[in-house]
Amino acid sequence: MGRLKKNITITSKMIFTFLVIICVGLIIVSYLFADLLSPVRTAVGNFFVPMQKGISTVSGGISETLRIFSDKQKLIDENDKLTSEINDLKTEMQILIHQEYELKWYRDLYENDSVYQNAEKVAARIISRNPNGACDMFVIDKGKEDGIEVDMNVLAGGGLVGIITDVGSNWAKVRTIIADDSSVSGRFQPTSDTCIVKGNMRRMDDGYIDVEMINLNAEVYDNYEVLTSYISDKYLPGILIGYVTNIRKDPSELNKRAYLTPVVDFEHLEAVLIVKTLRENLEGFE
Amino acid sequence: MMIVIKAIIVLIEIIIAYLLQTSVFTELRLADVVPDILMILTASLAYIFGKKTGSLTGFICGMLIDCTYGSLIGLYALLYTVVGYMAGYAHRVYDENDYTISYFIVGGAEFLINVMYYVLFYFLRGDLDFGHFLVRYLFPRVIYTVLISILLYRLINLDNALFYKLSDGMKKKRVVTVFKGFDTDDDR
């Protein structure tokens, strides 16, 4: 260190210490006041989203182009198969239309009309995922400009995907129900026993998440449907979450717990539907 | 002036790395893991230019992850800064024509940050199944990251030559730091 002149030399240790202090400070600030730093998050999101949108459009285009080159014979075979399938389905549809009238009548009778089926929905594309590869969070390409708000429910394939946690002008962040910090109040379909569906990324490797707080006396069996319950203040009632398996007593002996197989395939999710009705604005369910 | 141009080049690299990681490689998952492009960049720059560049790059990379996906802002930034700084120690064995060492450094850095991540996020929450984490997540991720770094390191290493040219050949010194006044003397 032969150059201790008047002007101070910035050593790497100084930079390092400075950065560590900033980090620790930010951690404490964001832990204590979560909302204080949300403009920063929004700004960063607004900066990256246009680029991510571009990338996902390009990659979508490429995979589309590649599909054109797939085998022609395969397409012809598929066409034949599909045509016969359509005929079958047409017949089936006639029967179903008839049954739907019946169902509607029963629903009116039972006052169990699923709210979300009639609500306005927006389709959105997933443009980026959690950098560590987990499926617990992702960003979609619709935001405030499309009328998306925090706490709106996100669906795909008829099942619950998660909930909006952050919204920017043209993007929104979704926390899925399999995330470790997610918990959804649910009920079993035939019996209406309540439970809590908790995310569990580790167990999701085997395709399950946790169901907790099932009443000891509840009559629940494997493959019962779990829907979102009427008690929840964020999730609309009556959305299918998944099917329950492996019901057993909790170690605390106070209630039962189980595994749940979500209906949504989180690994291969590409597009989602956002229900534009918020739970708090829902009438007739209070 | 030079320092600004260099900083901008590094910033652009960070942005590209971030986009690659969140939008491109999430579609190219192998064994359910995404390679850590930001760590490849941090560790490589730390190896090429030293601790200062390493810790600053790590800080910005970590901040980006925090701002978009972190629950607490600053946590990833802290981990990346620490790892970037430590990878900077490898700068003393830097050889611009030798690519092999860099793979070990990227692999080591990725291993280190994941172990720290485990301790902070899983261990303290009472999840003690380290074996599962090791086999299921850590090893695949380190291996995938190192494989991708074999491709990317060659590109990142071009920075050194580029900065050398830009700075008009800073008097016999082949190794140029990104931030002026931050020359690597005290790192050696």
Residue of A nearest to B19 (CA): A52
pLDDT in tens, A216-255: 888 888 888 888 888 888 888 888 898 998 888 888 878 8
> Tokens representing A118?
């009639």
**Residues on chain B touching A27 (C-beta within 8 angstroms):** 72-75, 78
Which architecture, in CATH terms, is A120-286? Beta Barrel (2.40)
C-beta atoms surrounding B48 within 10 Å: 25
Judging contacts by C-beta atoms under 8 Å, the chain B residues touching residue A267 are 32
Q: pLDDT at position A113, please?
A: 45
The single residue listed with the structure tokens 């209070």 is A286
pLDDT of residue A2: 46
Measure B15 CA to nearest chain A CA, in Å.
9
In chain A, where does DSSP find H-type helix? 12-32, 38-68, 72-110, 115-118, 201-204
Scan for tokens 């909930």, then name that residue. A163
Which one, of B178, B33, B36, lies nearest residue B112 by Cα?
B36
> What does the pLDDT read at residue A112?
46
> pLDDT (tens digit, 9 = 90+) per residue, A105-137?
666 655 544 556 677 888 888 888 887 777 888
Residues of chain B with confidence (pLDDT) below 50:
172, 183, 185-188
Q: Does B32 touch chain A (CB under 8 A)?
A: yes
Considering only CB atoms, which chain B residues are within 8 Å of A22?
59, 74, 77
For testing the chain A interface, which of B16, B33, B53, B72 should be mutated: the one with the most A CBs within 10 Å?
B72
> Domain locations in chain A?
74-113, 120-286
Nearest to A129 among B22, B132, B136 (CB): B22
Torsion sign across C-alpha atoms B136, B120, A135, B68 = negative
Give whole-number Cα distances, B127 to A125, A202, A258, B162, in Å: 34, 10, 19, 46
Give the whole-angstrom CA distance, residue A45 versus residue A47.
5
Confidence of residue A163 (pLDDT cuts 50, 70, 90): very high
Assign a CATH topology to domain B2-169. Arp2/3 complex 21 kDa subunit ARPC3 (1.10.1760)
User: Which chain B residue has its CA at the smallest distance from A174's CA?
Assistant: B69
Residues of B in contact with A26 (CB under 8 A): 66, 73-74, 77
Supply the pLDDT for residue B83: 92
Residue indicated by tokens 């690659």: B20
ipTM passes above 0.90: no
- In angstroms, what separates the C-alpha of A85 from chain B's closest C-alpha? 32
**A26–B67 CB contact, under 8 Å:** no
Per the CB < 8 Å rule, is A20 touching B29?
A: no
**What pTM was estimated for this model as a whole?**
0.68
Which residues in chain B have Cβ-Cβ distances shorter than 8 Å to A19?
55-56, 59, 77, 81
Tell me, yes or no, if A55 comes closer than 8 A to chain B by beta carbon. yes
**Which two structure tokens, joined as six digits, stand for B83?**
């790892």
B141 in contact with A, Cβ within 8 Å: yes
Q: Please name which of A111, A117, A180 lies closest in space to residue A153, comparing C-alpha atoms.
A: A117
pLDDT of residue A71: 66
Among A126, A132, A210, most B C-beta atoms within 10 A, so best to mutate, is A132
Share of chain A above pLDDT 70, in %: 89
First to last CA, chain B: 25
Could you report the per-residue pLDDT of A30-86, keeping only the tens digit for each?
888 877 777 888 888 888 888 888 887 887 777 777 767 766 778 888 888 999 999
CA nearest to A260, candidates A211, A220, A214, A216: A211
Residues A164-203 have pLDDT tens digits of 988 888 889 999 998 888 889 998 887 888 899 998 887 8
Closest partner residue to B75 (CB to CB) among A27, A55, A267 is: A27
Q: Identify the closest residue of chain A to B83 by CA–CA distance.
A: A16
DSSP string, B83-111: HHHHHHGGGGG--TT--HHHHHHHHHHHH
Residue A212: C-alpha distances to residues A187, A194, A215, A219, A252 (Å): 11, 9, 9, 15, 12
Q: Which of residues 7 through 36 in chain A touch B, CB cutoff 8 A?
A: 9-12, 15-16, 19-20, 22-27, 29-31
Interface contacts (A, B; CB < 8 Å)? 125
Question: Is there a contact between A258 and A211 (Cβ–Cβ < 8 Å)?
Answer: yes
Rounded to an integer, what distance in angstroms lies between the CA atom of residue B109 and that of residue B41? 11
Q: Which of B68, B75, B177, B185 to mutate to test the interface with A (most CBs of A within 10 A)?
A: B68
Touching B: A residues 102-131, CB under 8 Å: 127-131
